[in-house]
Structure 1
Amino acid sequence: MAFWIILPISLSAVSFIGCWTVYGLALRFHHVCSLSNWEYSNSCLTNETGSCCTGHNIPTISGSGTNFPENSLFSATINGASFLFVVFSIFHHAHIVKKCSVHSLLSKCAMVFGCIAGVGAFVAGNCNPAELMFLHNLGAALSFVCICFYTVLLTFLTSRCMLTGLERALYPIRIVFSSIQVILTILYCIFFSQKEFYYRHISAIFEWTLSMNLELFELSYAVEFYFFSSAMLSVLLSNRDEESTIILS
């Protein structure tokens, strides 16, 4: 059963290693500013592109993956992370249904938010903001909002469903993670909408913090997946069979 802890660990690792590698490449080729660089200008001389920052190279996660060659790795990272996140959402729902069926409806709502968040991230990762800005922003907004609902619902389920026997320790930790996710998402949206480079740079820092916070939140579910069994997936199939029988009758 311990084999299944690979899923949340892989999800966190792919997101963390992939995104920070993309940022490192973008920084190496002067496609984005350093997160520690707070000096911005409306224009830069050609020979100052390595140290001068403008509003076109603010180091957001998506901004780091806009240009070649790092854009290919960015799309691959987002695609892999989105797929794993959807699988994570479905498998965790199966665990809830098997061990705590009384909250299966709430778990299903969480699963839907998780799947929509994965689809939104997939759209954002495959729509280059330099060419498809509207679709990229739509996918990113959908992902950010749904992840907030997802983390809150999963945190609530932690307090209601005894899956591991360690919920007393996990619940307060996840309250912190979900609270940070919601608060920083709101602050990120406020600062990102500002025109001043200083505030948009702050929003970039919030975005990276949100990414790392979500990765830690996902990693905490290695505990649940230690107790996960592939036999639990049969619960989802049996539920579909029951629904089909009801419809036919």
Structure 2
Amino acid sequence: MASESSINICEHELLSQSQKPSSVPDTHAFTQQMGTTAVTLFTFAQAVQKWLRYAPDRAGGTGRQRQRTMNYMVLWIIFPISLSLVSFIGTWTVYGLAFTNNHVCSLTDWGSDNYCKGNQSTGCCLVPTISSSGTSAPENSLFTATINAGSFLFLLFSIFHHAHVMERHTCHSMLSRFALVFGVVAALGAFTAGNCNPGYLALLHYLGAAISFMCICFYTVLLTALTGKCSLTGYEKILYPLRIASTVVQTIVTICYTVLFAQDEYFYVHLSAIFEWMLSINLELFELSFAVEFCFFSSFMLSNLLSKREEEKPLMMTMS
């Protein structure tokens, strides 16, 4: 009897132990849980890394890496200043030489009877446009050098500004690319006009000048729009209205210049010359205003035009 009772007790203990939940963990479930946790931690680490790399500057709201801000070189301000000064000093020096040699009439003489008519080229003066100032020797060499230098600097200006926008505001990359196209075409048009003397290659000269003036109008409009959309310096509240005014002046004066240039009467042609000089000065002031942006420019930004962004590579691989 004692043995039977002990057997019954052992069976009861075994039955109760079998009904308890097993303390041995499920290996498959544990593995899935660890995998999910690892993926979550990896995603979180990527997010933290991205936040650290592209944490916004609380003061300006548009900063990038703090290490990159150390690369900002105030010396880049020399570039837009040089572009404006080269154009301003060069063109007015050419006009001074041409006026001294009696190759162009005075800008203040509205009723000159000595201006060249038709095929007349000797014993008279040309209408004092920028182009006619660089027609004759010796000022034509300086005119060509000035236009070539200005075209090259303007081309670099367009590329650098595009790189700046691509570094800070890729969401407006399409608008910046359109501006870059107009800037490049304007530089090529000016280069053509500068190297084709209007006295010998008038068609190519005026075609290049027309393309340059038209593209500059669109370029100023697009750059002003980018100023309103992109915060590159923190001074856009001041720069934006100034550039709007400059763009409006550039557009209106370009239209007036185009209409008056085709007239035959000297007064209107002379007025078109005044408008052309106004276009030149207004553009130089517009370019000079970008000295503020170039205070925040860095040579690192140019690498965006040569290589893909690191964070875009996985997305491109996924799409392919």
**Separation in structure 1 between the aligned mates of residue 109 and residue 115 of structure 2, nearest angstrom:** 16
**2:89 equivalent among 1, 17, 20:** 17
**Residue from 188, 198, 211 that aligns with 2:280:** 211
What is the match of residue 124 of structure 1? Answer: 193
Note the C-alpha offset of 1:42. 7.0
- Counterpart Cα distance in 2 of 1:25 and 1:157: 39
Aligned pair 1:85/2:157, yes or no?
no
Return the letter of the residue paired with 1:172. P
Query: What letter matches 2:87 in structure 1?
Result: S
Q: Distance in 2 between matches of 1:130 and 1:240?
A: 49
Post-superposition offset of 1:3: 1.0
The 1:43/1:206 distance shift into structure 2, 3 A limit, reads closer
Structure 2 counterparts to residues 151-166 of structure 1, below 5 A: 151-166=220-235
In the alignment, residue 243 of structure 2 is paired with which amino acid? R
Please say if 1:136 is aligned against 2:205.
yes
Q: Does 1:190 align with 2:190?
A: no
Q: Which amino acid aligns with 1:221?
A: F
Which sections of structure 1, spanning at least 5 residues, go unmatched?
Answer: none
Secondary structure at 2:297 match in 1: coil
- Tell me the alpha carbon deviations over residues 162-215 of structure 1, each in whole angstroms, 9 at most, x when there is no partner: 000000000000001010000000000000011111100000000000000000
Letter in 2 for 1:140: A
Give the equivalent residue in structure 1 for 2:271: 202
Superposition deviation, residue 40 in structure 1: 2.7
Distance, in Å, in 1 between the alignment partners of 2:134 and 2:174 is 37
**1:41: Cα distance to partner?**
2.7
TM-score by length of 2: 0.71
Q: How many residues align?
A: 238
TM-score (norm 1): 0.91
In structure 1, distance between residues paired with 2:177 and 2:111: 47
1:39 offset after TM fit, Å? 1.9
Higher helix content, 1 or 2: 1
**Alignment check: 8 A CA contact 2:155 2:183 kept:** yes
2:86 and 2:308 mapped to 1: Cα distance? 32
* 2:77–2:295 CA contact under 8 A, matched in 1: yes
Identity of aligned residues (%): 64
Match for 2:78: what amino acid?
Answer: I
Counterpart for residue 163 of structure 2: 94
Instruction: Structure 2: give runs of 5+ residues left out of the alignment.
Output: 1-72, 117-121
The 1-side partners of 2:115 and 2:163 are apart by 54
Equivalent residue, structure 1, for 2:74? 2
Partner of 2:54: none
What secondary structure, in the 3-state scheme, does the structure 1 residue paired with 2:136 have?
coil
Q: SS of 1:164's equivalent?
A: coil
